[in-house]
Amino acid sequence: MSAMTDPTVIHLRRGRTSLVLDARGPGLPRVVHWGTDLGPVPADDLPALLDATVPPVVPSSFDAPTVLSLLPEASAGWSGRPGLAGHRAGRDWSTAFRLNRLDVDDPDGAARVAVRATDPDAGLTLTVEVTLDPVGVLTVRHRLRNDADQPYEVRELTPVLPVPAVATELLDLTGRWCRERAPQRHPWPHGAWVREGRHGRTGHDATLLLVAGTAGFGFGHGEVWAVHTAWSGDHVTVAERRPTGESTLGGGELLAPGEIVLGPGEEYATPLLYAVHSTAGLDGLSDLLHTHLRARPGHPRTPRPVTLNVWEAVYFEHDLDRLRTLADRAAEVGVERFVLDDGWFTGRRHDRAGLGDWQVDADVWPAGLGPLIEHVRGHGMQFGLWVEPEMVNPDSELFRAHPDWVLTAPGRLPLPWRHQQVLDLANPAAYAHLLDRLDALLTGNPGIGYLKWDHNRDLTEAGHAGRPGVHAQTMAAYRLLDELRARHPHLETESCSSGGARVDLEILRRTDRVWASDTNDALERLSIQRWTGLLLPPELVGTHIGPGRSHTTGRVHTLGFRAVTALFGHHGIEWDIVAIDAAERAELTAWVALHKRLRPLLHTGRAVRFDHPDPAVQAHGVVAHDRSRAVYAVSRVATSVTQVPGPVRLPGLDPARRYAVRPAQGVPEPDAMQITGPGWLPAVTLPGSVLATVGLHLPALNPEQALLLEVDAVD
């Protein structure tokens, strides 16, 4: 943080990022610069920098410069989307906040600014909290307090940040069930590009990051700015470019009418808006976010256990002997965590009944879960269990006893979805019942060390006490997860929501990994995992080897292709490995062993993705931070127009060191490779500069084949 002779002229520096704020005016501070580190700008030069960036007064406009502050206001001349929209029975709909306190400090290596401003006429106090962490990740949160005697309805409160005019393209993600994280990009036009999530959960179509960048930016090149709205309910993320010249990125909670009404003295806080900038393309953004996440006190520190989830092996057909045999085979291939999925609780023989009745089904499990837990733990494996606590089937004892414990619009139930409704966790009685049942389950079965926490429907017509209830439901779900962690501190939890419909940085404050998608089709997973990795490091993303024929798409893939795809993440298996032959089991064992050998690198290194000119080739890798080693996967996702797709460059290596490159050892190479020329040598040694600039011609793989390369520095 630069020294300040004037406390209203602020320059924060962390990592490779600078943030400059101008707090000299009577209103809220404006963001002068957010992006590339400006270096140690002398304090005496900062006022000149601020003066040089004040917008000019132009003809046919206001008589004073229009100021885009930390909260855009019409009273300051802003004609775009408002930072705050609200009213008090039709009054106090426009604000003019005046700065009355500004604090700057730098505890724990992070630079923090707290801005407090008031509008006495509107009866409101606004606090803006800005933090720039040690690696350069910026977070912004607004807090709004009602100081008047009458209620104030908040309709929107959205943090925004300016982006320079050189950012001319936008990229974000969309998707659906089993097709999450589909990228889309386009020029950034005038107007607002608004991404709204109205699912009551983060959503399959949620954009993990909304990215603005210079023309043609890619994974390894271009200057980029991005934001992420850390919220698991309804939300909005927006990019806006005004004809007046300003460009902004922002995001916050999407509020329904009447959802947030502040009584006297009450306060509303926005979700955290995460903001990152890089001059090294999308991989630069990911590097910052991954480093930030890995520095969290609650980030997983132990090796991520290879997990077998039984869903695609047995579905609802639970049988102790069959599951014991499955656990035996799992232990033989190297599995470290065994997860019993849906079907263990009362009345749950299909997906139309039982949700809400969280007691072990005595007909299927007459001795309880204990015998299976003991068998699994006897193999040295951890035991996990599937739950879906926020949901209820109408065909359940809980619903029959408490139909009033459901999120509803007055007088009717929402349309059913997977034969289920949503429990109203903001109802104190429903919340207490659910907490007691989950606590009793974990206390009575101390061998359960992991919950796969599912959430299989959108929240539609989600009403609480006659008013919109998504905000209250989301906050209650957070409290429930927090309380269970407090009572069972060694419990790990996975966020699963019909696959990847609840993936955001706020749910990940309470969970230890996410399930990226319900599809284990390796071809679909290549893209899903590639773009999930834009936000999350590999160790937080569940990646499993599924059956040879995918149950969601019907595609058939070799074990090698499935294994290479699943290698780069929190590795696991979702497959009936009792039914496979000895040769396939031996190959699976080799792949699991390879993952364990590479796991220290995969779960700590820097993720890189390739900008290959041929769309039929997809490649990615992980490079150690000291650049002593790396592992890369090269996959063919389709046939190519050209016979040979061109060399594959290996990014991230030290250009001054020499590296030995070879196919991964200990596992079969892809069969039926189209070898051209002399074929693939057992190993090649070249400088990192050559590997990154010229690259290597690899064997011409058939579609839906993959090659895994290990790279080690030799000097």
Which residues sit in the known binding site for substrate?
177, 341-342, 418, 452-456, 496, 518
Give the separation between CA 639 and CA 631, rounded to whole angstroms.
Answer: 24
**Contact predicate 308/330, CB 8 Å:** yes
Give the separation between CA 212 and CA 209, rounded to whole angstroms.
Answer: 10
Active-site pick, 119, 287, 518, 521: 518
Residues contacting 522, CB < 8 A, separation 6+: 546, 550, 557, 561, 562, 565, 566, 704
Take residue 211 and report the two structure tokens written for it. Answer: 């990215």
Q: How many residues does the chain have?
A: 715
**Contact predicate 171/185, CB 8 Å:** yes
320-333 and 370-378 are packed helices; what angle lies between their axes, rounded to 10 degrees?
20
Nearest alpha-carbon partner for 652 in 280, 276, 226: 280
The letter for the amino acid at 76 is A
76 secondary structure, DSSP code: G
Take residue 359 and report the two structure tokens written for it. Answer: 């007691």
Q: Is 105 a catalytic residue?
A: no
Q: Is 599 helix (H, G, I), strand (E, B) or coil?
A: helix
Count other C-beta atoms under 10 Å from residue 272's C-beta.
21
Give the separation between CA 260 and CA 464, rounded to whole angstroms.
Answer: 12
Q: Is 454 a catalytic residue?
A: yes
Give the separation between CA 424 and CA 365, rounded to whole angstroms.
Answer: 29
Please name the residue ranges forming H helices in 188-271: none
Give the separation between CA 535 and CA 433, rounded to whole angstroms.
Answer: 35
**Contact predicate 172/196, CB 8 Å:** no
**Contact predicate 538/293, CB 8 Å:** no
184 bridge partner residues: 172
Residues contributing to the annotated binding site? 177, 341-342, 418, 452-456, 496, 518
Q: Is 459 helix (H, G, I), strand (E, B) or coil?
A: coil
Take residue 616 and report the two structure tokens written for it. Answer: 């039929």
Give the separation between CA 589 and CA 606, rounded to whole angstroms.
Answer: 27
Give the separation between CA 123 and CA 86, rounded to whole angstroms.
Answer: 12
**Contact predicate 500/532, CB 8 Å:** yes
Which residue is it, tokens 């350069």?
A: 136
The C-alpha angle 467, 124, 159, rounded to 5 degrees, equals 75
Active-site pick, 454, 458, 504, 512: 454
- Per residue in 337-363, is it b (16+ CB within 10 Å) or e — as a string? bbbbbbbbbbbbeebbbbbbbbbbbee
- Where does 57-106 show beta strands of DSSP type E? 84-87, 98-105
258 secondary structure, DSSP code: T
Give the separation between CA 110 and CA 136, rounded to whole angstroms.
Answer: 9
- Name the maximum alpha-carbon separation found in the chain: 83
Catalytic residue ranges: 454, 518
